[in-house]
Amino acid sequence: MAPLLLGAKSGKPPGISLDCYRSKPCISGLEQTKPFASVTMSKDKPFDFLRVLHDGIIAGGTAGVVVETILYPIDTIKTRLQAAHGGSKIHWKGLYSGLAGNLVGVLPASAVFVGIYEPSKQKLLKLFPENLSAFAHLTAGAIGGAASSLIRVPTEVVKQRMQTRQFASAPDAVRLIVAKEGFRGLYAGYGSFLLRDLPFDAIQFCIYEQLRIGYRVAAKRELIDHEIAVIGAFAGAITGAITTPLDVLKTRLMTQGSTNQYSGLLSCTQTIIREEGPAALFKGIGPRILWIGIGGSIFFGVLEKTKTLLARKSSADLKSDFVKQQ
């Protein structure tokens, strides 16, 4: 699905700003603190990098942990379907296997992603014309994904090894992977992870941001919670379906362990097609769409809600400081 490219100068309805929404009216003599920019930044207000970074870290970490905890069983089923060779039996027990260890990585990874994405987006939105804001969202998503990959890949490797019942606990998984495969074993499938997740992050966030902007312009108001959830679900489901083959390759490379059945992305692709047919590249697409669709709904819903609460707190703090100065 091609992302929407919205021209704010020609399509902005009267009274609707494509800058940042305001959670409360402005207080006398003091501009209301705004959460995160969607299209443009106010030219008369300095860019508060530290606040955006701080709020992004908190909002991203919160959203990531909530989604991972709720949807972990679906992710486990998807991983086992993708890792199964031919007619291998799928195990349905231990669907929460590896959750605790995974959350240790998900929290900082999600925090880093959103913490990098938000300020990058705001800076890039200043550089791109408003009718090309999609490219700012795409680029910011890729930057955030690249930064968080250093944490996400080891977390994903350990999680998927435990989901496929290779290890009983996260500490054992880390210790044995390093012992047998070296430190590089924790980054197994790193290339395939980047190949899958950089486009995924960029496309998902771009679709979400552009749909959110378009809906807001059409409705001439800010979105309410369930509308954000629907847009997040749609963006996640579409992106999940598109990137399923890349996800299968990543799963096979990350779960092969020391067998070295595949030497790389090309070898993995050729082997899967030769031995199992092209359809195997779409294994687990159903659970993946379900998981990422629901996950997108929850993630963006929690993300936006947390951002709004943080903005209100910041506004209250500024108001308190302003009153004290009078």
DSSP-assigned states of every residue in 127-191: HS-GGGHHHHHHHHHHHHHHHHHHHHHHHHHHHHHHHTTS-SSHHHHHHHHHHHH-GGGGGTTHH
Q: How far, in whole angstroms, is CA 101 from its chain's centroid?
A: 19
Q: Hunting for tokens 């009267």 — which residue is that?
A: 14
Angle, in degrees to the nearest 10, between helices 99-127 and 170-181: 80
Name residue 27's beta-bridge partners: 30
Tens digit of each residue's pLDDT (9 = 90 or more) over 13-59: 444 444 443 334 343 344 344 444 443 344 445 567 788 888 889 99
pLDDT in tens, the chain (326 residues): 433 333 333 444 444 444 443 334 343 344 344 444 443 344 445 567 788 888 889 999 999 999 989 988 888 888 788 777 766 666 777 788 778 877 888 899 999 999 999 999 999 999 988 888 999 999 999 999 999 999 989 988 888 888 777 887 888 889 999 999 898 889 988 887 788 788 889 999 999 999 999 999 999 998 999 999 999 999 999 999 988 998 898 888 888 877 778 888 889 999 999 999 999 999 889 888 988 999 999 999 999 999 999 988 877 777 776 666 76
Q: Which two tokens stand for residue 242?
A: 């598109």
Q: For the chain, what's the residue count?
A: 326
